[in-house]
Chains A and B, each alone.
Chain A
Amino acid sequence: MHTKTIAELAAGLRAKEYTSVELTQHFLNRIKNLDSQYNSFVSITEEIALAQAKEADERLAKGDANPLCGIPIAHKDIFCTNGVRTACGSKMLDNFIPPYDATVVENLRAAGAVMLGKVNMDEFAMGSSNETSFYGPVKNPWDTDCVPGGSSGGSAAAVAGLLAPGATATDTGGSIRQPASHCGLTGIKPTYGRVSRWGMIAFASSLDQAGVLTRSAEDAAIMLSAMASYDDKDSTCINQPTEDYTATLGNSLDGLRIGVPKEYFGEGLRPEIAEHVRTALKWYEGQGATLVDIELPHTHLSVPAYYVIAPAECSANLSRFDGVRYGHRCDDPKDLNDLYKRTRAEGFGDEVKRRILVGTYALSAGYYDAYYRKAMKVRRLIKQDFDQAFEKVDVIMGPTTTAPAFKFGAKGNDPVAMYLEDIYTIATNLAGLPGLSIPCGLVDEKPVGLQVIGKAFDEGKLLNVAHQYQLATDFHQLTAPGIK
Chain B
Amino acid sequence: MEWETVIGLEVHVQLATKTKIFSGAATQFGAEPNTQACAIDLAMPGTLPVANEEAFRYAVMFGLAIDAEIGKESVFERKNYFYPDLPKGYQTTQLDQPIVGPGKVDITLDDGRTKTVRIHHAHLEEDAGKSLHEDFHGMSGIDLNRAGTPLIEIVSEPDMSNAEEAVAYAKKLHSIVTSLGICDGEMSQGSMRFDVNISIRPKGEEKLGTRTETKNLNSFRFMEEAIALEVERQIEVLESGGSITQETRLYDGDTGKARAMRSKEEANDYRYFPCPDLLPVVLDEDYINAVREHLPEMPEARKARFASDYSLNDYDAGILSSDRATADYFEQTAKLSGDAKLAANWVMGEVSAKLNASETTITHSVVNAEQLAGVILRIKDGTISSKTAKTVFEALWNQEGDSADAVIEAKGLKQVSDTGALEAMADEVIANSPKQVDNYKNAAEDKRPRMLGYFVGQIMKASKGQANPQAINEILLKKLNELL
Chain A positions near chain B (C-beta within 8 angstroms):
79-80, 86, 88, 93, 96, 98-100, 102, 197-202, 204-206, 232-236, 312-313, 315-316, 318-320, 322, 324-326, 336, 340, 360, 363-365, 368, 372
Contact = CB atoms under 8 A, between A and B. Distances in A.
Contacts of B271: 315-316, 360, 363-365, 368
A368 B269 CA distance: 11
B471 to A, nearest CB: 71
B142 A324 contact: yes
B462 interface: no
A322 B82 contact: yes
Q: What 5 A-B pairs have minimum CB-CB distances, sorted nearest first?
A: A319-B89, A206-B276, A363-B271, A205-B276, A320-B43
Interface residues of B, number: 28
A214 B227 CA distance: 67
A312 B82 CA distance: 16
A50 B43 CA distance: 32
Interface stretch (B47-55, B326-334, B383-391, B403-411): B47-55
A372 B49 CA distance: 23
Contact of B45 (A201, A324, A336, A368): A201
B238 interface: no
Contact of A319 (B47, B90, B277): B90
A363 B42 contact: no
Contacts of A206: 276
Contact of A316 (B142, B273, B278): B273
Interface string B272-296: 1100111100000000000000000
Contacts of B50: 232-235
Given A313-B276, A360-B271, A202 B88 contact: no
A326 B44 contact: yes
B46 A200 contact: yes
B150 interface: no
Given A233-B50, A234-B48, A99 B89 contact: no
Nearest to A124: B45
Contacts of B88: 316, 319-320
B458 interface: no
Q: Which of B46, B78, B89 has the most CB of A within 10 A?
A: B46
Contacts of A324: 84, 87, 142
Contact of A80 (B46, B51, B87, B278): B46
Interface string B255-280: 00000000000000101110011110
A96 B43 CA distance: 13
Contact of B46 (A202, A313, A316, A360): A202
Nearest to A372: B273
A96 B90 CA distance: 21
A320 B46 contact: no
Nearest to A238: B279
B368 interface: no
Contacts of A320: 43, 45, 87-89
Given A88-B45, A200-B46, A316 B89 contact: yes
17 contacts: A80-B46, A88-B45, A99-B39, A99-B44, A197-B48, A202-B46, A233-B48, A316-B80, A316-B90, A319-B89, A320-B45, A320-B87, A320-B89, A324-B87, A325-B44, A326-B42, A363-B272
Contacts of A233: 48, 50
B276 A198 contact: no
Contacts of A363: 80, 271-273
Given A206-B276, A319-B90, A372-B273, A235 B82 contact: no
Nearest to A312: B273
Contacts of B276: 204-206, 236, 313
A294 B43 CA distance: 44
B97 to A, nearest CB: 15
Nearest to A197: B48
Nearest to A318: B89
Please indicate which of the listed interface residues B87, B271, B272 has the most CB atoms of chain A within 10 Å of its own CB.
Answer: B271
A99 B45 CA distance: 11
Contacts of A102: 46
Contact of A198 (B42, B46, B84, B269): B46
A364 B47 contact: no
Interface in B12-64: 39, 42-51
Contacts of B42: 325-326
B45 A236 contact: no
B51 A316 contact: no
Contacts of A364: 269, 271
A394 to B, nearest CB: 28
A351 to B, nearest CB: 18
